[in-house]
Amino acid sequence: MQKIRNIAVIAHVDHGKTTLVDGLLGQSGTFTSHEHVDERAMDSNALEKERGITILSKNTAIRYKEHKINIIDTPGHADFGGEVERVLKMVDGVLLLVDAYEGVMPQTKFVVKKMIALGKKPIVVINKIDKPAAEPDRVVDEVFDLFVAMEASEEQLEFPIVYAAARDGIAKMDMGDEDGNFECLFEAIVNEIPEPEGDAGNPAQAQVFTLDYDNYVGKIGIARIFNGTIKKGDSVMLAKADGEMVKGRLSKLIGFHGLNRMEIDQAEAGDIIAFAGFETVDVGDSVVDPANPMPLDPMHIEEPTLSVVFSVNDSPLAGTEGKHVTSNKIKDRLEAEMTTNVAMRLETIGEGKFKVSGRGELQITVLAENMRREGYEFGIGRPEVIVKEIEGVKCEPFEHLVIDTPDDFSGTIIERLGKRKAEMKSMVPMGEGYTRIEFEIPARGLIGFRGMFLTDTKGEGVMNHSFLEFRPYSGTVESRQYGALISMEGGVAMAYSLFNLQDRGVLFIEPQDKVYEGMIIGEHARSNDLTVNPIKGKAQSNVRSSGADEAIKLVPPRDMNLEKALEWIEDDELLEVTPENVRIRKRYLTENERKRNDRSKK
């Protein structure tokens, strides 16, 4: 039996999970001296590198003395909570990271709740102890209180504590100790995390917890072996969640070491491997011995709470910037996403319209941004929450919202959220001039709130939210306060007309940008929509006038990226997303169509 330890790294977003895994990889001697390793090596996707967040859980394996340690790095965002839940079932213990200043945050509570329910053994790592405002002792007390509140077992409450500054590769068991390296953390993992249960002599049993895709071998299942030995070329059975049994052969068996994957011939109980050979493999499926099939319990995956409609782009500029523009291409790409992303759902709702449901705005904008970079052109509607009927009552998703704001702005924030049906649960001073306020709010109330929140707190506020539960529908929620500036003509925007329009509100476009009738070029300073002409040039005449040579001074336009634009739009508006631009437009482009549509609603 190999000496194996399986651990997951869990934490709130931005508390340093991926950086800690970097340190573990670096100090275990996994990389040779001449290998160049990027910072946050586990974040392989271009979007992950840019945003500094983990989107997909990833696994790696390191050697420490005679032990093999399988580590799974998990996402911290609430939108990807489904990934964390699945990963926890595959490991025997966790490294729970908590920021030495921020302490327990909403996602920390979410992951701890899952960990305690599954009975996993934690090692608590108090990270970022080098921060000037760090208070490790307060944070340890917060973590202990959280464990007690979540009804942790006696064994879970006796968690070892490691103090670390993961970025600098420093870890120690006591704040009074000298700064050391990660040796004490490796020792804690080997000594505190239990060995995997299971026997290599039993019939084979493995469960898939995440999926990958390879153009040559097709779908790849990444699984943990709970019992038995699995060999390359074995004939096995795949037990599906609905009870169906599929016979097949393992065409490839892949092992992990550092950032590399290599083909292996066999693996035993307790190890984490990847395999190919089944096109129908899905998360939660079990690989079992055909002679003695004993499937494991299928996994419960959390339901989506938000949906958005992707459609074929039908604007006057359609097809001029994208490579893949037809409904078939968009459908194929969305279906490919569904093969590896189990937290999302897809349904076709009409000619060239596809409803994508997910766990939050971030998850959907990440998909849209990836598609845009791959050359796709499409339209997106406003996100809508998924409303369910539970025991005859119309219910909607509610979120637990935590806001850290400078003291001066707390009144404004409470007032804003009150109009969005939020209920304040607690308000605690954090010191350093900050206050932490907790709310319970309908998920609808959060759509479009982030941009307003950043403006209100002058960019200094921090907001985090995680899914709470479905509750009875709470009536109408206030939406955007301001109207839109809509172009009445098509052509190229002129500096002269934009200069005259900037008093009317905030512009989203620059001179020489292409515009068309029905395109939204800015936010009106009042609550109504206003049609304007952004392509009118200055009339030339041969008569001299005193203001002829005055320089035109334009205010820089508001930068509307995909996320900001998706939060900003209303139900009668769409985003036109192309590889080069994100434009905002009215669903009905001409004024006559809009009026006719308004009348038909009444």
CA–CA gap between residue 367 and residue 238 (Å, rounded): 29
Q: How many CB atoms lie within 10 A of CB 146?
A: 19
Please tell me whether residues 407 and 506 are part of one structural domain. no
Please tell me whether residues 148 and 24 are part of one structural domain. yes
The per-residue pLDDT for 590 is 87
Does 251 score more than 80 pLDDT? yes
The per-residue pLDDT for 103 is 82
The per-residue pLDDT for 396 is 87
For residue 220, is it within any domain? yes
Mean pLDDT, residues 400-413 = 87
pTM: 0.72
CA–CA gap between residue 595 and residue 273 (Å, rounded): 60
Q: Of 288, 307, 342, which residue constitutes the final position of a domain?
A: 288
Residues in the chain: 602
Mean pLDDT, residues 367-378 = 88
Q: Of 252, 269, 288, which residue constitutes the final position of a domain?
A: 288
Please tell me whether residues 411 and 488 are part of one structural domain. no
Mean pLDDT, residues 55-77 = 71
CA–CA gap between residue 409 and residue 424 (Å, rounded): 15
Please tell me whether residues 536 and 406 are part of one structural domain. no
Beta bridge pairs of residue 246: 238
Please tell me whether residues 56 and 181 are part of one structural domain. yes
Please tell me whether residues 30 and 167 are part of one structural domain. yes
Please tell me whether residues 17 and 153 are part of one structural domain. yes
Q: Which residues 6+ apart lie within 8 Å of 33 measured at CB?
A: none
How many structural domains comprise the chain?
4
Binding-site residues: 14-19, 127-130
Task: Grade residue 30 by pLDDT with cuts at 50, 70 and 90.
Answer: low
Please tell me whether residues 412 and 506 are part of one structural domain. no
The per-residue pLDDT for 34 is 39
For residue 12, is it within any domain? yes
Identify the CA nearest to 229 among candidates 247, 209, 203, 250. 203
Please tell me whether residues 467 and 487 are part of one structural domain. no
Beta bridge pairs of residue 170: 165
When the pLDDT of each residue in the chain is averaged and rounded to a whole number, the result is 81
Contact predicate 114/327, CB 8 Å? no
Please tell me whether residues 445 and 463 are part of one structural domain. yes
CA–CA gap between residue 268 and residue 198 (Å, rounded): 9
Q: Tell me the residue type at 145.
A: D
Does 171 score more than 80 pLDDT? yes
CATH number where 168 lies: 3.40.50.300
Contact predicate 109/96, CB 8 Å? no
Mean pLDDT, residues 272-278 = 84
Residue 412 host element (H or E): helix 410-419
The per-residue pLDDT for 54 is 43
Per-residue b or e along 579-594, where b marks 16 or more CB atoms closer than 10 Å to that residue's CB? eeebbbbbbbbeeeeb
CATH number where 249 lies: 2.40.30.10
Q: Of 288, 323, 352, which residue constitutes the final position of a domain?
A: 288
Binding-site residues for GTP: 14-19, 127-130
Mean pLDDT, residues 415-439 = 86
Please tell me whether residues 510 and 426 are part of one structural domain. no
Tokens 């001039």 -> residue: 433
CA–CA gap between residue 104 and residue 106 (Å, rounded): 7
Please write down the HEC assignment for all residues of 230-248: EECCCEEEEECCCCCEEEE
CATH number where 491 lies: 2.40.50.250
The per-residue pLDDT for 519 is 92
Contact predicate 98/143, CB 8 Å? yes
Please tell me whether residues 146 and 232 are part of one structural domain. no
Contact predicate 109/401, CB 8 Å? no
Print the domain residue range for 486. Answer: 481-540+550-558
CA–CA gap between residue 282 and residue 302 (Å, rounded): 15
Mean pLDDT, residues 242-265 = 80
The per-residue pLDDT for 77 is 55
Angle, alpha carbons 177-178-184 (nearest 5°): 75
CA–CA gap between residue 556 and residue 564 (Å, rounded): 17
